[in-house]
Amino acid sequence: VFVFQEGLGSSLFGLDGPTEKTFIHVLVLVFAVAFGLSMDYEVFLLSRMKEA
């Protein structure tokens, strides 16, 4: 958050300075990771229920 609001360390992410934008690819990536983790957890949960 500090990088995007104040611009400190923004050069590490290829930004010119502080920004107020939310990049769409970041939202898609976060959604994909969260969805993948939740599906992985569901598979483990269902496999444990099947074993019992």
Query: Residue ranges per domain, the chain?
Result: 22-52
pLDDT attached to residue 31 = 92
* Residue 9 and residue 3 in contact, taking contact as beta carbons nearer than 8 Å: yes
Distance from C-alpha of 6 to C-alpha of 1, rounded to nearest angstrom: 8
* DSSP 8-class letter at 17: S
Of 32, 34, 6, 37, the residue nearest 19 (C-alpha):
6
Tens of pLDDT along the chain (52 residues) come to 666 666 676 677 676 766 666 677 788 888 999 998 888 777 777 777 777 6
